[in-house]
């Protein structure tokens, strides 16, 4: 809640005037309040303080950013992406914003209000075919565009994206109930990712390998091999709802710098944020058909897209859907970033304040809807009570409410997610877990909950709640913790809290996860770090450099000499 105050001294002010002012303020959608701090006996003179309440978010500098009533999404520079007549956002194909001939739309439900917030086009298969054909042609020309020019355009898109962080953040708040401040951060981080990618791309794609033949037994130096990196073609990018902008650009930017074209299928919750982001690329002046964005439900157009013969690479982030896509996709490179059940192992010698802070932040930020959220705490019994006391004290301070007010805990993305989380909680209750807080839910809003004394026979010990519910297992030994972590079908990240670096290294080596954080919660960033999951958590590796390398293939040219050629001497 923010309030701006200004004082004025009014003469002959009365309640009729108050109500006029109030009604006027409602017209401009401000909540005005007046405090009478002084009045004389006749009410003819009053000193008032008046101001207005607004539900707002905050920028990094603390300024209010989302004044109620000032809806910026779909207006101004973004007006062309909205079919104002039907109030449906358009899809992006052949460099233009278009209405689908299907005449159908998909509703995006605001997780907080549970009412339709936006609508997007339900693209048809024929429209997908057209996009694929055009993307294939555009890619050929783009591959011939000098690297520095590709980078220049990416830098431009990054700047435009950051310039428009507020309307895009507004969409994130409304579509996925991400706290206002974090929504702005996601857009800014995405701009930075694009710029870093442009810089990294010109360096790593500007280098190839030169090999000579006589290092392999039986060969003379008669062959020179020049190996360089060439684009794959059309990259299909499918991000999830929880970071729709950031995880879209983490696919788009590496694909483009490497000379590929893009077909983006945004998540339904998050689609409008993605469409705004794509418009920033449009405004930057990328060639038409190089970037395309088709909307529609994954369950309806997903298979058609992922099995489309025009697709040369799939970069997917999401849940188990990724496993079925991997099985159906043809002979094309796959980058799969899937679910996780990140374990946090706390040893006897851990700094418990540090561990508690990381468990709460790592487990409950964005209401636990992060792939790298701490999803199970494995604490050595001797320090479990002390740790739980510290963790519970921090949980008690979390604010719960709407994302516009920048609350720590906001509604989860959908009713079905909330029901799923509730199912895990009830299963744990039946099987005897200790509830550290009372379970409370209103609509999609679930209050943060720690479940102590969780056992291996409870679903919450293994499944990913993707909500503000954190299970804790008390362990008798570190080995027990490592075994639990390794018995999971997931292997995204894990973390260990100890002051002994030698123990930490041994545990890190033993944990079957793509990354282990020592003395910090799991995290995907910084975005240039390698990021990968083992087992059901993924295929391949992300992070800017790895993503660029994944979206190219090596092409060799071998020069065959008639006689062996040795250097000097």
Cβ(378)–Cβ(475) below 8 Å = yes
Footprint of ligand NAP on 522-551 (CB under 6 A): 533, 538
Query: What's the full length of the chain, in residues?
Result: 569
Alpha helices (runs of H) in 488-521, residue ranges in sequence order: 501-510
Stretches 140-148, 253-261, 319-327, 440-448: which one binds ligand NAP (CB under 6 A)?
319-327
Binds ligand NAP (CB under 6 A): choice among 182, 186, 337, 408: 337
Minimum CB–partner distance for residue 288 and ligand NAP (Å) = 24
Instruction: Examine residue 321 and tell whether it contacts ligand NAP (CB under 6 A).
Output: yes
Nearer to ligand NAP, 476 or 530 (CB): 530
Task: Give the helix/strand (H/E) hosting 118.
Answer: strand 116-121
Stretch that binds ligand NAP, among 125-133, 163-171, 281-289, 337-345 (CB under 6 A): 337-345
Q: Which of 371, 523, 544, 550 binds ligand NAP (CB under 6 A)?
A: 371
DSSP single-letter state for residue 379:
E
Please pick, among 175, 337, 404, 464, the residue that the annotation labels catalytic.
337
Q: How far is the CB of 241 from ligand NAP (least distance, A)?
A: 4
Binding span for ligand NAP by CB under 6 A among 25-33, 82-90, 299-307, 477-485: 299-307
Alpha-carbon span 192 to 247, nearest angstrom:
13
Which long-range contacts does 427-436 make (Cβ < 8 Å, 24+ apart)? 427/458, 427/459, 427/460, 428/454, 428/458, 428/459, 428/460, 428/471, 431/455, 431/457, 431/458, 433/458, 433/460, 433/471, 436/388, 436/392, 436/395
- Cα angle, residue 250 at apex, residues 177 and 257 outer, rounded to 5°: 150
Q: How far is the CB of 270 from ligand NAP (least distance, A)?
A: 7
Q: Choose which of 69, 84, 285, 319 interacts with ligand NAP (CB under 6 A).
A: 319
Question: What's the CA gap between 533 and 490, in Å, rounded?
Answer: 8
105 binds ligand NAP (CB under 6 A): no
Distance CA 201, CA 528 (A): 12
- Does 240 participate in binding ligand NAP (rule CB under 6 A)? yes
Of 139, 260, 317, 547, the residue at the interface with ligand NAP (CB under 6 A) is: 317
> Which is closer to ligand NAP, CB of 231 or CB of 239?
239
What are the E-state strand segments in 166-280?
209-212, 223-231, 234-238, 261-264
Q: Footprint of ligand NAP on residues 35-64 (CB under 6 A)?
A: none
The answer to whether the CB of 487 falls within 8 A of the CB of 510 is no
Shortest distance, position 373 Cβ to ligand NAP, whole Å: 8
Is 191 or 538 the residue whose CB approaches ligand NAP more closely?
Answer: 538
Site size with ligand NAP, rule: CB under 6 A: 27
236 vs 352 by CB, closer to ligand NAP? 236
Cα(343)–Cα(469) distance, rounded to whole angstroms? Answer: 14
**How far is residue 504 from each of residues 12, 378, 513, measured CA to CA in Å?**
73, 15, 14
355: left (phi over 0), alpha (psi -120 to 50) or beta: alpha
By CB under 6 A, what part of segment 432-491 binds ligand NAP?
A: 464, 466
Q: Which is nearer to ligand NAP, 50 or 325 (CB)?
A: 325
Q: Choose, by CB under 6 A, the member of 57, 167, 340, 368 that binds ligand NAP.
A: 340
Place of tokens 């909205």: 82
The dihedrals phi and psi of 513, each to the nearest 5 degrees, come to -135, 160
At its nearest, how many Å lie between ligand NAP and the CB of residue 319?
Answer: 3
Distance in angstroms (rounded) separating the CA atoms of residues 397 and 391? 10
Catalytic annotation present for 337: yes
How near is the Cβ of 67 to ligand NAP at its closest, in Å? Answer: 29
Q: Going residue by residue from 257 to 296, which x/- string records binding to ligand NAP, judged by CB under 6 A? A: ----------xx----------------------------
Q: Should residue 517 be labelled a site residue for ligand NAP when binding is judged by CB under 6 A?
A: no
Does 246 interact with ligand NAP (rule: CB under 6 A)? no
Write 25-30 long-range contacts (CB < 8 A, 24+): 25/52, 28/69, 29/68, 29/69, 30/54, 30/68, 30/69
CA 311, 315, 317 angle in degrees (round to 5)?
Answer: 140
Chain contacts with ligand NAP (rule: CB under 6 A): 238, 240-242, 267-268, 297-299, 302-303, 306, 317-319, 321, 325, 337-340, 371, 464, 466, 492, 533, 538
Could you list the active site residues? 337
């Amino acid at each position: 809640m923010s309030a701006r105050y200004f004082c004025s001294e009014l003469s002959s002010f009365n309640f009729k005037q108050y109500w006029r002012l109030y009604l006027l303020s409602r017209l401009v959608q401000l909540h005005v309040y007046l405090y009478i701090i002084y009045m004389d006996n006749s009410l003819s003179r009053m000193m008032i303080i008046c101001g207005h309440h607004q539900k707002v978010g905050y920028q990094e500098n603390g300024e209010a950013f989302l004044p109620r009533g000032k809806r910026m999404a779909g207006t101004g520079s973004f007006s062309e992406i909205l079919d104002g007549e039907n109030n449906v956002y358009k899809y992006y194909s052949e460099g233009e914003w278009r209405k689908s001939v299907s005449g159908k739309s998909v509703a995006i439900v605001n997780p907080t209000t549970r009412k339709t917030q936006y609508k997007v086009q339900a693209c048809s298969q024929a429209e997908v075919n057209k996009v694929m054909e055009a993307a294939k042609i555009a890619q050929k020309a783009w591959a011939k565009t000098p690297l520095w020019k590709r980078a220049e355009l990416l830098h431009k898109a990054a700047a435009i994206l950051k310039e428009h962080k507020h309307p895009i953040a507004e969409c994130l708040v409304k579509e996925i109930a991400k706290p206002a401040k974090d929504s702005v951060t996601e857009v800014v981080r995405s701009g930075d990712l694009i710029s870093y990618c442009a810089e990294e791309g010109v360096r790593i794609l500007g280098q190839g390998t030169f090999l000579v033949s006589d290092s392999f037994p039986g060969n003379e130096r008669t062959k020179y091999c020049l190996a360089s990196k060439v684009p794959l073609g059309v990259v299909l990018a499918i991000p999830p709802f929880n970071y729709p902008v950031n995880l879209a650009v983490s696919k788009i930017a590496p694909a483009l710098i490497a000379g590929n074209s893009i077909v983006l299928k945004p998540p339904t919750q998050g689609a409008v944020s993605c469409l705004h982001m794509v418009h920033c690329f449009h405004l930057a002046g990328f060639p038409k058909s190089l970037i395309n964005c088709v909307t529609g439900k994954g369950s309806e157009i997903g298979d058609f897209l992922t099995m489309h013969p025009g697709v040369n690479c799939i970069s997917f982030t999401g849940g188990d859907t990724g496993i079925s896509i991997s099985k159906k996709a043809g002979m094309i490179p796959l980058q799969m970033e899937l679910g996780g059940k990140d374990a946090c192992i706390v040893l006897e010698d851990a700094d418990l304040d540090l561990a508690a802070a990381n468990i709460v932040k790592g487990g409950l930020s964005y209401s636990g809807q992060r792939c790298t959220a701490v999803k199970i705490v494995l604490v050595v019994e001797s320090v479990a009570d002390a740790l739980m006391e510290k963790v519970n004290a921090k949980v008690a301070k979390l604010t719960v409410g709407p994302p516009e007010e920048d609350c720590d805990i906001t509604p989860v993305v959908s009713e079905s997610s909330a029901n799923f989380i509730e199912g895990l909680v009830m299963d744990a209750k039946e099987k005897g877990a200790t509830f550290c807080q009372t379970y409370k839910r209103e609509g999609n809003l679930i209050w943060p909950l720690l479940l102590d004394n969780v056992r291996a026979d409870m679903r919450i010990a293994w499944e990913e709640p993707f909500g503000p519910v954190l299970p804790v297992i008390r362990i008798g030994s570190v080995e027990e913790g490592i075994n639990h972590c390794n018995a999971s079908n997931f292997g995204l990240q894990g973390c260990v809290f100890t002051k002994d670096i030698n123990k930490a290294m041994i545990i890190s080596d033993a944990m079957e996860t793509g990354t282990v954080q020592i003395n910090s919660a799991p995290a995907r960033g910084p975005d240039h770090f390698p990021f990968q999951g083992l087992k059901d958590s993924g295929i391949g590796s992300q992070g800017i450099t790895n993503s660029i390398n994944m979206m190219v293939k090596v092409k060799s040219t071998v020069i065959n000499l008639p006689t062996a050629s040795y250097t000097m001497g």
